[in-house]
Amino acid sequence: MASDQMLICSYLNLDFFGVYLSFITLLFVSFFILFWRSHMSRIEGFLICVSSVFSVLCFISNDMLLFWVTYELSILALVFCVLVGSPYSERFLAFWYLVGYVGSTSLPLLVSVLYVGVLGLSTSFVNNSANISGDFGFMWILFVILFATKVPLPPFHSWLPVVHAEASTFVSVCLSGFIMKLGIVGIYRFVLPGFSLSAGSLVLLVVYSSLVICSCLSELDTKRWLAYMSLGHIVVGVVGLFYGQDYVTEAPLYCLGHGFSASILFVLFLYLYESLGSRNWLSVSLSGRLGVAVIVILSLSLLTASSFPPSLNFFSEVFILNMSFFNMGLVLSYSLYLFVGGLVPVLALSYLLTSSGESFGSGVSTNSLLIVTVMYGVFAYLVVFFV
């Protein structure tokens, strides 16, 4: 009995980070089963459940090979789910993007895991962090690149918006809800024990993410818009990891808020698509058929995506900002990210509300409301920054 427990402990690690992220997966699976099982086929539901089970095992794995196997199985289930459940004509494009993404990262990661296992005489995360010397730092750099692609982080993110646009809503929810977090837990387990990013690297990452969020302003497709927003915001969860082990609990907290806000918006955009027959922001805002309840829920969801208080994202971002004062460049770049990341969803919300108001014959000026919204966003940002 004791030997069985030791064997389980050697392959599984029930630490705070893994258990907390596993809770995210279980939360989404419960949501699917309770509310959306009638909207998906049995095959699609089965594949999502398979992906969820292997994701949980991946989150709590304490072995590199087990991590690789469970991660690849969780993403492969969604690859086939794209073909089975997507209602869009370009689903084959999304399928090949996912296949290319899996193929370009899975084999190099497997080879790296086996190589590190030989060097450390074990594939255990704990043993390797202690046995591998600094002479093999290039392996950690390779891990950074591989998991930056798996999250994905800029500039390795180009495949995800295409997949989001052509995959079914349920696959998009899984990708934003817990698959992206598998890449973060990979950084936590593979990279952090032997590698750290400099403040300059973090500044470049945050600035690049701000530019990704700004690119949302040119997107009319709601799913692609949300995909870029999700990509820009997930950086906060990664940046929080490199502030030291004392602050690593903020990363899973932010991941929970990120997955929750993105998933709600994906479901709302599905509802709007089924109601209006379009995913275009112009069609949504000018339709004049949005009820008050839908507008309220959509408004709250967009405010949550912008990390508006009292959302989980708000507290995590403010905490990480407070921890950034050891480097002024990081403070300035992170402040830019907070401003842009909060302003873009608020601008989308203001456009949605003013356009809907004009459709109903409202006499409120669109430009006036946009100006007021921008001023309120600046005011809220300054309050958060100085308080």
Sign of CA pseudo-dihedral 291, 292, 293, 299? positive
The predicted-structure confidence for 211-228, as pLDDT tens digits, reads as follows 888 888 888 888 889 888
Q: Mean pLDDT check: name the lowest of 83-92, 146-155, 361-370.
A: 361-370
Report the domain count for the chain: 2
Same domain, 181 and 257: no
Q: Is the pLDDT of residue 128 over 50?
A: yes
Average pLDDT of the residues in 135-142: 70
Q: Is the pLDDT of residue 104 over 60?
A: yes
Q: Is the pLDDT of residue 136 over 90?
A: no
Same domain, 179 and 132: yes
Name the percent of the chain lying above pLDDT 90: 5
Please give the pLDDT value at position 54. Answer: 93
Average pLDDT of the residues in 149-153: 85
Q: Is the pLDDT of residue 380 over 50?
A: no
SS3 string, the chain, reads CHHHHHHHHHHECCCHHHHHHHHHHHHHHHHHHHHHHHHCCHHHHHHHHHHHHHHHHHHCECEHHHHHHHHHHHHHHHHHHHHHHCCCCCHHHHHHHHHHHHHHHHHHHHHHHHHHHHHHCCCEHHHHHHHCCHHHHHHHHHHHHHHHHHCCCCCCCCHHHHHHHHCCHHHHHHHHHHHHHHHHHHHHHHHCCCCCCCHHHHHHHHHHHHHHHHHHHHCCEHHHHHHHHHHHHCHHHHHHHCCCHHHCCHHHHHHHHHHHHHHHHHHHHHHHHHHHCCCEHHHHHHCCCCCHHHHHHHHHHHHHHCCCCCCHHHHHHHHHHHCCCCCHHHHHHHHHHHHHHHHHHHHHHHHHHHHHHHHCCCCCCHHHHHHHHHHHHHHHHHHHHHC
Q: Amino acid identity, residue 97?
A: Y
Asked if 150 and 183 count as a contact pair (C-beta separation under 8 A), the reply is yes
Same domain, 256 and 238: yes
Same domain, 276 and 191: no
Same domain, 335 and 380: yes
First to last CA, the chain: 54
Please give the pLDDT value at position 372. Answer: 41
Distance of CA 259 to the CA centre of its chain: 6
Q: Mean pLDDT check: name the lowest of 60-64, 155-159, 254-258, 349-353.
A: 349-353
Please give the pLDDT value at position 276. Answer: 79
Domain that holds residue 82: 1-195
User: Average model confidence (pLDDT) for the chain?
Assistant: 77
Domain C-terminal end among 195, 217, 246: 195
Average pLDDT of the residues in 32-57: 83
Same domain, 164 and 278: no
- Of 191 and 72, the structure prediction assigns the larger pLDDT to 72
Average pLDDT of the residues in 68-88: 87
Domain C-terminal end among 142, 163, 195: 195
Same domain, 252 and 190: no
Average pLDDT of the residues in 92-96: 84
- C-alpha 97/C-alpha 103 separation (Å) is 10
Please give the pLDDT value at position 68. Answer: 92
Please give the pLDDT value at position 74. Answer: 92
The predicted-structure confidence for 64-73, as pLDDT tens digits, reads as follows 889 999 999 9
Q: Amino acid identity, residue 30?
A: S
Please give the pLDDT value at position 255. Answer: 82
- Taking alpha carbons only, the member of 231, 214, 242 closest to residue 326 is 242
- C-alpha 96/C-alpha 44 separation (Å) is 18
Q: Which residue has the tokens 């990480």?
A: 320
Average pLDDT of the residues in 23-29: 79
Q: Is the pLDDT of residue 369 over 50?
A: no
- C-alpha 44/C-alpha 85 separation (Å) is 6
- Taking alpha carbons only, the member of 333, 248, 347, 349 closest to residue 301 is 349
Asked if 85 and 105 count as a contact pair (C-beta separation under 8 A), the reply is no
Same domain, 108 and 191: yes
**Following CA atoms 301, 303, 305, 309 in sequence, which dihedral angle do they give, to the nearest 10 degrees?**
-120
Same domain, 184 and 227: no
Please give the pLDDT value at position 355. Answer: 65
Q: Is the pLDDT of residue 155 over 90?
A: no
Average pLDDT of the residues in 189-218: 82
- C-alpha 249/C-alpha 245 separation (Å) is 8
Residue 320 CB contacts under 8 Å (≥ 6 apart), including other chains: 236, 239, 240, 243, 247, 250, 254, 334
Token pair listed for 275: 């109601």
The partner residues of 280 in beta bridges, in order of sequence, read 221
- Of 188 and 155, the structure prediction assigns the larger pLDDT to 188
- Taking alpha carbons only, the member of 341, 350, 95 closest to residue 231 is 341
Average pLDDT of the residues in 308-312: 75
- C-alpha 387/C-alpha 382 separation (Å) is 8
Q: Mean pLDDT check: name the lowest of 134-143, 193-202, 266-275.
A: 134-143
Same domain, 265 and 299: yes
Same domain, 365 and 336: yes
Q: Amino acid identity, residue 339?
A: F
The predicted-structure confidence for 315-344, as pLDDT tens digits, reads as follows 878 887 777 777 788 888 888 888 888 888
Domain C-terminal end among 150, 173, 195: 195
Predicted model pTM: 0.83
Torsions phi, psi for 221 (to 5 deg): -75, 125
The predicted-structure confidence for 264-294, as pLDDT tens digits, reads as follows 888 888 888 887 788 888 777 655 666 677 7
Same domain, 283 and 228: yes
- C-alpha 239/C-alpha 272 separation (Å) is 34
